Structure 1
């Protein structure tokens, strides 16, 4: 009997091969997880912008708007009276807003002009707002998330995740 406490070359190669197989099997799942996390992050970024607009409108006693330009891939917070931009938000990580976002939740929208907003939500100092939704779609145009204001009187921002089984957005 040998008192060898190390690994043989064969054992090392087998261990590396097993690790390689496990990585190969897990890559598609990992890639899908990352893509879904990016979509979820985009939805939360848009919801945060809307919530910030609602609270800032009340704090500053001003009417504010969150405007979306699907062609230029961005959205921003704007003073409704002076049209001055108060804050620009980073591009949504999932890619082009014209491909990912739609105000009607079925098809991407855009007017071809990168200087104008195609969709806006208005927030009042009393907490009310206009109602409407912005949707995040995947590359194939499938619905993923809907972010917006359901009831104008409250201005409450809701985020819904698409449930294909029930063909509706589920608010959590």
Structure 2
């Protein structure tokens, strides 16, 4: 266990995001998941990034590109802009800015992210994954609902 500030800005890493990264606990909200994913980029925990992406998208992630993005930047801070913890029974939204230095200049990654709760866990819905199910196929989140009745509205 470490005794350092958590990259997400919410306290000590050992009691904040580290237990999530180690699989000892899971995020209790979309915002907590988003914060832990930011910290995972800072700490280069690519397996955690993959594991917390919507189940049907995990195999399509470019892990080498995620690792390169994680390690090639000097992460500075995370700022939560806004959020909606309950868009509907299983979806939430978090808008954030991640500040980093890319080796040449300071950058800001500004994103509105959507999350889905499946069973007891929250997952990130990655809008950059190119392949999506058709509207009548099972949803990528694993809910067994049709895609059009679940996560489609948050991606398309």
TM-score (norm 2): 0.27
- Structure number with greater Rg is 1
TM-score under structure 1 length normalisation: 0.25
